[in-house]
Amino acid sequence: MLSDYIKNITPSATLSVTATANQLKAEGLDVITFGVGEPDFDTPEYIREAGIRAIQKGLTKYTPVNGILSLREAISEKLRRDNNIDYSPEEIIINSGAKHSISTALQAICNPGDEIIIPIPYWVSYPEMVKLVGAVPIFVQTQKENNFKITGEELLSAITPKTKAIFLNTPNNPLGTIYSKNELETIANIAIEKQIYVISDEIYEKMVYDGKKHTSIASLNSEIRELTILINGMSKSYAMTGWRLGYTASNRTVIKTMGTIQSHATSHPSSITQYAGLAALQEHSPVLYEMTEEFNKRRLYMVERLKNMANIDYIYPEGAFYVFVDISKAFGAKVNERLIDSSVSFAELLLEKAHVAVIPGTAFGMDNFIRLSYATSMENIKEGLDRLEAFIKS
């Protein structure tokens, strides 16, 4: 009695690992969690206060479907200032989190059977979101020698007359890699030649390290700007995961269509959230810089520790707050008579034996890996890595 589309959808693995770890913690076990995909910092106070003020002022009624004009203006200004792209407020829609931005964008552009190219590894929700709109995920396995970034040849070989879009995620979850301007130019040229959309997920834009810079593919030229569906939001950069505030910038037709969908689905994100988001963008608080600095310290510590661990390898992370660790050398080993033969069995045994929670790479399409998040305290990171090291040695 259920939808055929739904039968092929799996629940989010990242959220379920976090739930299991939390359950074990509630049972009294001392579990260290490397699973979470959200900043461990509180939403900065000036943003929380703006939310409270919105309630006190009675700004608690319906807002325009595409979001309040002042917030769309602030985003338009942000895109000009930070990303060097001109999007008018009519080319921007506010959604209930970046996840909702992506799913609404897919509803706006996909017909049943359309193909959406997804480079592997991918963020866990992309394939399921594609299937939910009756489109078909076309996976492209990227290669280690390219730091697991999709190349022009790989992209070209996946394009068919049914291709509607490609997913691009930079800085990347789970890899932490960043696409350079040259690499983006290659993708943009192909997208323009073949007339396909680029769904550019830039949610980790503010978390870049080593003096690297984030480039938005839409900023390269006006033709690729027309084909880009730029996704961003406040969850990661402003530690606002629970507020649910994402946004999309694209050409007017895509944004108008997304507005029509949103008008029948959620109407708009919470008015309180929108006013808090406006304050977040209008003030330039040092807290935001401090959060990134703290992530950077943890990243450097983690990389140093992983470098010195035998039998594992990792992708050097330049952005976001994850390290993708190759654990395939552990395959074939036994722990208490149980065989490690996949990222899932590795993660299960690590949780059981060492009380460390990680996300199995299979959630991102690569079973040889696990993902460690450093959105947790330095103390937890030290203890968790000690346990991981002892587990691998054993």
| Interface with ligand PLP (CB under 6 A), residue from 246, 269, 317, 365 | 246
Span near ligand PLP by CB under 6 A; candidates 66-74, 92-100, 220-228, 272-280: 92-100
Q: Which residues, other chains included, contact 383 with Cβ-Cβ below 8 Å and sequence gap of 6+?
A: 32
Tell the smallest beta-carbon distance from residue 83 to ligand PLP (Å).
17
Provide the CA 192 distance to its chain's centre, in angstroms.
25
Tell the smallest beta-carbon distance from residue 229 to ligand PLP (Å).
13
Strand partners, 334: 339
Q: Which two tokens stand for residue 179?
A: 């696409």
Tell the smallest beta-carbon distance from residue 336 to ligand PLP (Å).
33
Q: Does 75 bind ligand PLP (CB under 6 A)?
A: no
Span near ligand PLP by CB under 6 A; candidates 96-104, 180-188, 213-221, 347-355: 96-104
Tell the smallest beta-carbon distance from residue 339 to ligand PLP (Å).
31
Amino acid at 64: P
Q: Which two tokens stand for residue 145?
A: 């020698």
| Interface with ligand PLP (CB under 6 A), residue from 13, 33, 116, 123 | 123
| Interface with ligand PLP (CB under 6 A), residue from 33, 34, 36, 37 | 37
Scan for tokens 């299960």, then name that residue: 348
d(Cα 223, Cα 58) in Å, to the nearest integer? 43
Strand partners, 94: 247
Tell the smallest beta-carbon distance from residue 203 to ligand PLP (Å).
4
Residue number, 94 or 109, with CB nearest to ligand PLP: 94
d(Cα 21, Cα 357) in Å, to the nearest integer? 6
Handedness of CA 378, 382, 384, 389 (dihedral sign): positive
Q: Does 16 bind ligand PLP (CB under 6 A)?
A: no
Span near ligand PLP by CB under 6 A; candidates 47-55, 95-103, 277-285, 337-345: 95-103
Contact predicate 340/332, CB 8 Å = yes
Residue number, 35 or 246, with CB nearest to ligand PLP: 246
Quick check: helix, strand or coil at residue 206?
A: coil
Residue number, 115 or 201, with CB nearest to ligand PLP: 201
Least Cα distance to 190 among 277, 135, 119, 125 occurs for 119
Q: Does 39 bind ligand PLP (CB under 6 A)?
A: no
* Three-state helix/strand/coil letters over 207-224: CECCCCCCCCHHHCCHHH
Contact predicate 127/136, CB 8 Å = no
Q: Does 233 bind ligand PLP (CB under 6 A)?
A: yes
Residue number, 142 or 328, with CB nearest to ligand PLP: 142
Tell the smallest beta-carbon distance from residue 338 to ligand PLP (Å).
30
d(Cα 172, Cα 37) in Å, to the nearest integer? 12
Q: Which of residues 160-219 bind ligand PLP (CB under 6 A)?
A: 169, 173, 201, 203
Q: Does 259 bind ligand PLP (CB under 6 A)?
A: no
Quick check: helix, strand or coil at residue 239?
A: coil
Least Cα distance to 210 among 181, 183, 176, 168 occurs for 176
Give the DSSP H or E segment for 169. strand 163-169
Scan for tokens 């995909």, then name that residue: 37
| Interface with ligand PLP (CB under 6 A), residue from 44, 51, 67, 97 | 97
Q: Which of residues 267-286 bind ligand PLP (CB under 6 A)?
A: none
Residue number, 189 or 241, with CB nearest to ligand PLP: 241
d(Cα 154, Cα 314) in Å, to the nearest integer? 23
Residue number, 13 or 349, with CB nearest to ligand PLP: 13
Tell the smallest beta-carbon distance from residue 240 to ligand PLP (Å).
8
* Contact footprint for ligand PLP (CB under 6 A): 37, 97-99, 123, 169, 173, 201, 203, 233, 235, 241, 246
